[in-house]
Amino acid sequence: MRRRRAASEAQPPGAEASLEIAARYLGTRPRSRWEVERRLRRGGAPGAIIEKTLDHLAELGLLDDLAFARWWVEQRDRHAPRGRRLVEAELRQHGVGRDVIELLRDELAALEADGDLPTTEDARARIALARHLRGRSLPEDPKALQSLGMFLMRRGFDPETARAVLRAPENADTDR
Residue 10 lies in a domain: no
Residues 126-166 have pLDDT tens digits of 888 988 998 888 888 999 999 999 999 999 999 999 999 99
56 and 89 fall within a common domain: no
Residue 160 lies in a domain: yes
Residue 176 lies in a domain: no
Query: Where residue 122 falls among pLDDT bands split at 50, 70, 90?
Result: confident
Q: Are 27 and 57 in contact (CB under 8 A)?
A: no
148 and 110 fall within a common domain: no
Residue 109 lies in a domain: yes
Number of domains in the chain: 3
Residue 8 lies in a domain: no
pTM above 0.95, yes or no: no
Residue 4 lies in a domain: no
Name the residue type at position 12.
P
Name the residue type at position 162.
A
Residue 9 lies in a domain: no
Continuous segment of H or E residues that includes residue 23: helix 15-26
Closest CA to 86 of 161, 164, 147, 173: 161
Continuous segment of H or E residues that includes residue 130: helix 121-133
Residue 25 lies in a domain: yes
Angle (CA) 80-86-88 rounded to 5° is 110
Q: Look up the domain containing 94 and give its range.
A: 65-114
Mean pLDDT for all residues in the chain = 86
Interatomic CA distance for residues 118 and 115, integer angstroms: 6
Interatomic CA distance for residues 85 and 157, integer angstroms: 7
69 and 110 fall within a common domain: yes
Name the residue type at position 161.
T
85 and 127 fall within a common domain: no
